[in-house]
Amino acid sequence: MSENEQKAILTLCLMAAFADGGKDERERAEIKRIAESLGGNGAVNLAALYQDVLLRRVAPEQAAAALDSPELKQLAFEMAVCVCDADGARSGEESAFLERLSGLLGLASAPSRRFEQDADDLAGAALPEPAATPVHASTQSAAELDKMILNYAILNGALELLPQSLASMAIIPLQMKMVYRVGKSYGFELDRGHIKDFLATLGVGLTSQYVEQIGRKLVGGLLGKMIGGLGRAAGSTVTGAAFSFATTYALGQVARTYYSGGRTLDGPRLKETFAQMLGEAKTLQQRYAGEIQEKARTIDPNRIVEMVRQT
């Protein structure tokens, strides 16, 4: 994948992130931080692309025209869909943007709509229906909660090793489902809005997290290698696996602290606790690197939506 192709795909993803014009300020700030942090890590200056998109110095037509192969056009569209669906609520503006993008890329409508439906199903698979009866604290022990959080972290690290767009997108619904289960174990029935606010308070936005995942892969040239036929990623892709493992593990442990204490921690304390736990989780990931790679070999990419529903 050439530098221009990388820039084009990242540009379209950033356009998708801001397509609805209604992003939370915390989310916008997080996307800006990610763009700046990744800007110097490769040939593509993501921070400059962020400014170009924000100031409308580049049009979707320009970015789409830089992609020649059917594989890269499909990849760009799939990533844009995942960015729009990352927060689970695609707006009319986002749907219109995707419709326009599909036309600019010259994609067949039927496969594009099938992928959109898969992404919609995945985004909506995160949480169970609200309970009809009052929720009571579960009998899960501390060891059982630790094991559940660790299993989610290993699974999300494994998903990061897969090249499929839906595999990366599945990480966010699984994180939300994990937080839901932790809260429920302490007697709280959480809805999507509460969990999104909880993650945003920690500095973990939904759209921004997906942008970071794909930014790491594209700036590092990893997706180009995947498209070249290497399939399940190896080598430097462990960086992404470590990132997803650590983020998921830290989220689970902070959620456990928060809900076990009756939701009494304020925003600054939550962010501080998350930062500390994230550092510990990055070290812990090395111990489970083998299990993450083994888990990746067992995942069927064609059953990712079903897996998220059942996990």
Residue 228 lies in a domain: yes
Convert the pLDDT of each residue in 232-253 to its tens digit: 344 345 566 788 899 999 999 9
Highest mean pLDDT out of 39-53, 56-70, 189-203 = 56-70
What's the total number of domains in the chain? 2
User: Last residue of a domain, which of 66, 92, 123?
Assistant: 123
Q: What angle do CA 108, 111, 114 make, to 5 degrees?
A: 140
User: Last residue of a domain, which of 73, 89, 123?
Assistant: 123
Among the listed residues 16, 296, 44, 256, the one whose alpha carbon sits nearest the alpha carbon of residue 144: 256
Asked if 14 and 97 touch (Cβ cutoff 8 Å), the reply is no
What does the mean pLDDT of the chain come to? 81
User: In terms of domains, do 81 and 226 share one?
Assistant: no
Residue 112 is part of a domain; what is its CATH number?
1.10.3680.10
**pLDDT over threshold 80, residue 129:** no
Convert the pLDDT of each residue in 137-162 to its tens digit: 555 788 899 999 999 999 999 998 88
